[in-house]
């Protein structure tokens, strides 16, 4: 009995992922389409279970990591491509089958860059970071709104969450200011929202710190100046084993911490940092680097002389970003080399 949409011999399958419908295009070794098919979510894995082991490509999107792990378990090689690298291969009009064909063509390129297939543990850890980041942003919005309400009654509150939380009870208790009873009740209710958000933030931060304490690689990453539990676990969630990078600079470039280049005619033009990759992870590293620039004991750390040299010839913000890129390079070494840690003093300085 011949099965409908039975898998044919293909060198590469491209999968366009949808919520319920998946479009699959198979290419032969020469790049010509040999099969075009559409499946629902409950049948797409049956297709790849019957197919001979081959290369399967898909765009990086919600659901791609789950599907990649499932298809890999069936013996296939899965490659996930960033969507911006697939777009140049979409020819003429756009539909789901054309997208699947473009994905298969993009995957076939020998110089294409791919997204690492993450483990469920990495996805869980990344989810914690994203939820915490959302809660922190939500807390900031509520505090800014409360400060704006107070300004409408001539009360200027200090900037910063710590000073604001210390001052607001005093403002609410002061009967001599111009706050109306209705506004006092509203501010008190919003302040309770801030407390609840901080409780959730503390709970998730505790989960992240526990994950960092239980991971050998995270503990070794935290020996690097500027990297704490948040940055260490965020690096592990995003970069995994780091084997997708050939060298340390590739990881710094992946984080958007290297100069953007626009060179032509033999003239090299370097611009500001590229800001590619995860803005959240880049922000953690830049904040950690800024803390190092301000507080690092430069007489006892091997980075001290290097930072001093930078500060003599460039702006402080450039020093911070350059240090963040250096921290990313050191982190790559720690991640990829078992047992490696950061040594604060080199052999010549010891």
Of the residues 191, 213, 235, which one is the last residue of a structural domain?
Answer: 213
Looking from the CA of 270 toward its CB, the CA atoms found within 13 Å total 4
- pLDDT mean over 24-37: 91
Q: How far, rounded to the nearest angstrom, does the alpha carbon of residue 151 sit from its chain's CA centroid?
A: 37
Residues 27 and 83 placed together within one structural domain of the fold: yes
Q: Is 345 within the bounds of a domain?
A: no
Task: Give, in order, the Cα–Cα distances in Å from 116 to each of 11, 29, 119, 278, 283.
Answer: 21, 24, 9, 14, 21
Of the residues 107, 137, 163, which one is the last residue of a structural domain?
Answer: 107
Of the residues 213, 232, 265, which one is the last residue of a structural domain?
Answer: 213
pTM, rounded to two decimals: 0.87
Task: Give, in order, the Cα–Cα distances in Å from 314 to each of 105, 302, 309, 310.
Answer: 45, 20, 9, 6
Residues 227 and 321 placed together within one structural domain of the fold: yes
pLDDT band at 2 (very low <50, low <70, confident <90, very high): very low
| Number of folded domains that form the chain | 3
- Give per-residue pLDDT as tens, 176-231: 999 999 999 999 999 999 999 999 999 999 999 999 999 999 999 999 999 999 99
Residues 225 and 329 placed together within one structural domain of the fold: yes
Q: Which domain holds residue 142?
A: 120-213
Q: Is 161 within the bounds of a domain?
A: yes
Residues 254 and 321 placed together within one structural domain of the fold: yes
Residues 241 and 180 placed together within one structural domain of the fold: no
Name which of 237, 223, 236, 278 is nearest 256 in CA terms: 278
Confirm if 50 and 72 have CB atoms less than 8 A apart.
no
Q: Is 64 within the bounds of a domain?
A: yes
Q: Could you tell me the two tokens for 93? A: 């009009």
Which pLDDT value is given to residue 217?
95
Q: Is 165 within the bounds of a domain?
A: yes
Residues 24 and 65 placed together within one structural domain of the fold: yes
Residues 63 and 92 placed together within one structural domain of the fold: yes
CATH number of the domain where residue 16 is located: 3.30.420.10
Which pLDDT value is given to residue 265?
86
Which pLDDT value is given to residue 231?
96
């Amino acid at each position: 009995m011949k099965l409908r949409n039975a898998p044919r011999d293909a060198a590469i399958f491209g999968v366009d992922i949808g919520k319920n419908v998946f479009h699959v295009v198979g290419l032969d070794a020469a790049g010509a389409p040999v099969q075009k098919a559409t499946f629902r979510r409950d049948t797409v894995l049956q297709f790849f279970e019957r197919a001979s082991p081959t290369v399967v490509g898909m765009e990086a999107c919600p659901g791609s990591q789950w599907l990649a792990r499932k298809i890999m378990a069936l013996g296939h090689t899965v490659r996930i491509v960033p969507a911006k690298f697939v777009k140049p291969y979409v020819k003429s009009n756009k539909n789901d089958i054309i997208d699947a064909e473009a994905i298969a063509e993009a995957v076939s390129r020998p110089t294409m860059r791919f997204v690492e297939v993450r483990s469920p543990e990495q996805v869980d850890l990344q989810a914690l970071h994203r939820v915490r980041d959302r809660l922190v942003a939500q807390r900031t919005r509520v505090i800014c709104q409360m400060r704006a309400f107070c300004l409408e009654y001539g009360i200027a509150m200090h900037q910063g969450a710590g000073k604001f939380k210390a001052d607001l009870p005093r403002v609410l208790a002061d009967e001599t200011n111009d706050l109306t009873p209705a506004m006092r009740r509203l501010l008190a209710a919003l302040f309770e929202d801030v407390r609840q958000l901080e409780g959730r933030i503390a709970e998730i931060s505790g989960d992240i710190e526990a994950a960092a304490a239980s991971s050998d690689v995270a503990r070794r990453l935290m020996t690097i100046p500027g990297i704490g539990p948040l940055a260490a676990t965020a690096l592990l969630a995003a970069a995994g084993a780091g084997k997708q990078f050939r060298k340390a600079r590739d990881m710094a470039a992946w984080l958007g911490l290297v100069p953007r280049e626009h060179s032509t005619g033999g003239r090299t033009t370097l611009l500001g940092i590229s800001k590619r990759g995860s803005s959240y992870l880049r922000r953690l590293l830049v904040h950690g680097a800024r803390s190092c620039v301000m507080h690092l004991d430069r007489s006892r750390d091997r980075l001290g002389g290097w930072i001093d040299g930078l500060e003599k010839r460039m702006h402080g913000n450039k020093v911070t970003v350059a240090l963040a890129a250096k921290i990313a390079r050191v982190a790559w070494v720690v991640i990829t080399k078992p047992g490696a840690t950061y040594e604060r003093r080199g052999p010549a300085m010891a």
